[in-house]
Structure 1
Amino acid sequence: MNESSFTSVHQQFLCIEKKKKEKMKAWRYSEYGGVEVLKLESDVPLPEPADDQVLIKVFAAALNPIDYKRRLGFFKSTDSPLPIVPGYDVAGVVVKVGGEVKQLKVGDEVYGDIIEKAFDGPKQIGTLAEYTVADEKLLALKPKNLDFGQAASIPMAIETAYEGLERARFSDGKSILVLGGAGGVGSFVIQLAKHVFGASKVAATSSTAKLELLEKLGADLPIDYTKENFEDLPEKFDVVYDAVGQNDRAVKVVKESGSVVSVIPGPPVDRPAFHFVLTSSGEYLKKLNPYLESGKVKPLIDPKGQFPFDKVKEAFSYLETNRASGKVVVYPIP
């Protein structure tokens, strides 16, 4: 960020602090339900960072399926108390740091998934707000070549893709089949498997309209799931990464020594399949930043998937059609 831009952001923040009652605009819901329960409120208390946290002026946020599933009440038993400001992914500028923050400073452009455990007491104040707080350990410096909207689209999806590949012990020379290759997670699995882990072969499924996209992402074998059953393939794979919830079918095309990774919560599965839930980490982002800055790995935002801050309801409605290729982002956030 150049000096004049930082000065502007910092002055904006100082003006807020001078107010007797510090308030901000944020999208919030006070009951579970559809998009109609979302309200844009202007009197939400400005959060205060703890010692190991930073306060971020939010420039962009991305939506994830867990955001609307949480709003629908799927995770009531472990949810935080209502009202809730939704949002996990953020890109913005640090405007205040806690006393124990070691690496980040005011003015840093950062991005990350601000909720470490997606289902384990997630925060009341998410990223669909003018400001949010986040643990320093969950953040990384924003890739220099990406704008805030692009950066916000990355964290949860790329971290999920990376952690799943690591858990499956994916490595150089192995083959992989990605179920749901055009989605937020699947698009990063293809790219990471190819350019970071050194896959020998990447196959991936999508609808007919998205086959060309799979090729651009790096898939060697695009599979049209509307015309072919991947179980009929003559070969088996070292890893099947299931981003759509089909592990009962996926186990039929994995090698005996391989594994099936599933990120869709569901009933217990037998080996070689396993479910996992992301543990967010800024260290993943720091590892992958060089690949993002070199352009070897690229964020994927749906062509219709960028919405301004006042159109959050429309953004969620679009996400919930399950037709998006890549991510849906809210940007800019004034």
Structure 2
Amino acid sequence: MASTPSIPSHTKAWVYSQYGKIEEILKFDSNVPTPHPKNDQVLIKVVAAALNPVDIKRALGHFKDIDSPLPTVPGYDVAGVVISVGEEVKKFKVGDEVYGDINEITLHNPKTIGTLAEYVVAEEKVLAHKPSNLSFVEAASLPLAIITAYQGLEKVEFSSSKSLLILGGAGGVGSLVIQLAKHVFGASRIAATASTPKLEILRKLGADFPIDYTKENFEELTEKFDVVYDAVGQSDRALKAIKEGGKVVTILPPGTPPAIPFLLTSDGIVLETLQPYLESGKVKPILDPKSPFPFSQTLEAFSYLNTNRAIGKIVIHPIP
């Protein structure tokens, strides 16, 4: 693989070398070796990266038995420009604008150099071309959350004419579940939970029935649902909100049986499948009003993510 002279040997990144609270252990490092793409990988100049709750859990050591070795540059979601390509790469060329979740399997041996760096490598199969109508910031917000939303609905064989309740409808995943259920899967009725200030957002996203969880318990409603998509970790309560024969899918394992625990497999094909919905504007990225945070304020961005008050996604841009 020919190397391009303009690629620096070292790159700026955010790194932690021990497990703990991410805003306490994460340090800026201007001297991280730039990764080299393998045959099936591309090297990306990162333009924007999104934060995810998994970054926080990984830093705490929640899955250290299957994690890659420290030190770690966190970050799963990327949007950027292809700088060099491995010999087997067919889909992308230098200069292409791409996006994706760089870790195919979320918890098992994720990359040591994640997306909170100037340069990152990723396999061709986890990437897609950035939709032309989206900014890098908008594109970076999508991959992990939208693939989770889509594959979770597929997992429970969601289809048109079914009703759906989403727990955590204003969050990163939930805000996309509402839109995909409505525009891609053709749900007959969509209910979603959020706190009082976020109910209007649920309506704008397409929820027919916003539920204020600070004022009512969704499991006590007379209305029951074909599917409950649990994005907050309340599968025990969710099981009381389904119809006879209904299903609960939860993205916060282990989940209460028979709720179905689910983690995404990062896949560029899912992003390509959803491209027409993104380019038509039917499905929109939802960014927290505070986004984007500059690279220098990554610690503040993680502190904010930790409050659980964000609407949609928190994105870091520009990098550096």
Q: TM-score, normalised by structure 1?
A: 0.93
Unaligned stretches of 5+ residues in structure 1: 1-12
State the partner residue of 1:142.
130
Partner Cα distance (1:68, 1:291) in 2: 30
Partner Cα distance (1:277, 1:36) in 2: 27
1:26 is matched with which residue: 5, 10, 13?
A: 13
1:276 is matched with which residue: 259, 262, 273?
A: 262
State the partner residue of 2:32.
44
How far has the Cα of 1:183 moved from its partner? Answer: 0.3
Residues 163-182 of structure 1: per-residue CA shift (max 9 Å, x gap): 00001100011100000000
| Counterpart check, 1:53 vs 2:41 | yes
State the partner residue of 1:113.
101
| Counterpart check, 1:16 vs 2:16 | no
Partner Cα distance (2:220, 2:57) in 1: 33
Partner of 1:129: helix, strand, or coil?
coil
State the partner residue of 1:326.
312
How far has the Cα of 1:36 moved from its partner? Answer: 2.0
Partner of 2:288: helix, strand, or coil?
strand
State the partner residue of 1:68.
56
State the partner residue of 1:9.
none
| Counterpart check, 1:304 vs 2:290 | yes
CA contact (8 A) 1:203 1:223 kept: yes
How far has the Cα of 1:16 moved from its partner? Answer: 3.1
**AA partner of residue 185 (structure 1):** V
State the partner residue of 1:4.
none
Partner Cα distance (1:205, 1:29) in 2: 35
State the partner residue of 2:217.
229
Residues 255-310 of structure 1: per-residue CA shift (max 9 Å, x gap): 2222100000235x322x11011111001100001101110000011101320011
Residues 58-80 of structure 1: per-residue CA shift (max 9 Å, x gap): 00000000001111111111111
Partner Cα distance (1:182, 1:16) in 2: 39
| Counterpart check, 1:84 vs 2:64 | no
Unaligned stretches of 5+ residues in structure 2: none
How far has the Cα of 1:14 moved from its partner? Answer: 3.0
Aligned length: 316
Partner Cα distance (1:16, 1:175) in 2: 51
Partner of 2:150: helix, strand, or coil?
helix
**AA partner of residue 14 (structure 1):** P
| Counterpart check, 1:177 vs 2:165 | yes
Range that drifts further, 241-250 or 252-261: 252-261
State the partner residue of 1:5.
none
**AA partner of residue 7 (structure 2):** I
CA contact (8 A) 1:302 1:328 kept: yes
CA contact (8 A) 1:112 1:139 kept: yes
Partner Cα distance (2:298, 2:217) in 1: 36
Partner Cα distance (1:26, 1:63) in 2: 14
**AA partner of residue 280 (structure 1):** S
1:314 is matched with which residue: 300, 307, 310?
A: 300
How far has the Cα of 1:332 moved from its partner? Answer: 1.1
State the partner residue of 2:195.
207
Between Structure 1 and Structure 2, the one with more helix by share is: 1
**AA partner of residue 14 (structure 2):** W
| Counterpart check, 1:130 vs 2:121 | no
CA contact (8 A) 1:305 1:324 kept: no
Partner of 1:203: helix, strand, or coil?
strand
How far has the Cα of 1:232 moved from its partner? Answer: 1.8
How far has the Cα of 1:129 moved from its partner? Answer: 0.3
**AA partner of residue 89 (structure 2):** V
How far has the Cα of 1:28 moved from its partner? Answer: 0.5
Partner of 1:14: helix, strand, or coil?
coil
Partner Cα distance (1:319, 1:305) in 2: 11
